[in-house]
Amino acid sequence: MNPHEDKIAQLKSIPGLAGHVLVGPNGEILSHDAPNAEYLGALVAICRGGCAVVERELASSPAHFLAFHRGHSERFYVLPMGKNSLGFFQKKEAVGAELLAGVAAWQDSLDA
């Protein structure tokens, strides 16, 4: 397993994470295990657009991600990762703050 695969395996193992899509700077899908692959194109667009908003409009705020909620059970988060964009789903039973802390710790481990 190469180091890139190892980091993606670590991401997938974060408690509360139900799927992800990692998008490159040109819109290419670097990795994904999205639960609804038929919506992958829309997820890529949401990731890229959402990260642009975070970087441009929220740069001076403490917000580092966007959260999308649909109904009472579906949550999708978007955050910039350098030139890439990460989108991930929250499991229904998961606590959002714990999931975000896990993703933040994973993100910090990439720099280590």
* pLDDT higher than threshold 80 for residue 19: yes
Residue 112 has pLDDT above 70, yes or no: no
pLDDT at 39: 86
Q: Is the dihedral of CA 8, 64, 56, 88 positive or negative?
A: positive
Lowest mean pLDDT among 4-13, 56-65, 83-92: 56-65
Q: What percent of the chain has pLDDT over 90?
A: 53
Kindly report the average pLDDT of the chain as a whole number.
87
Q: How far apart (Å, rounded) are the C-alpha atoms in residues 88 and 79?
A: 9
Q: Please say if the pLDDT value at position 2 is more than 80.
A: no
pLDDT over threshold 70, residue 23? yes
Helices (H), 13-73: 40-57
Q: What is the mean pLDDT of residues 43-50?
A: 92
Q: Which of 72, 102, 98 is nearest to 86 (CA)?
A: 102
Distances (CA, A) of 62 to 51, 59, 66, 109: 14, 8, 12, 21
CA angle 46, 102, 111 (to 5 degrees): 85
| Domains annotated on the chain, with CATH | 3-111 (3.30.450.30)
- The helix or strand, by DSSP H or E, that contains position 85, with its residue range, turns out to be strand 84-90
* pLDDT band at residue 32 under the 50/70/90 scheme: very high
State mean pLDDT over 71-77: 83
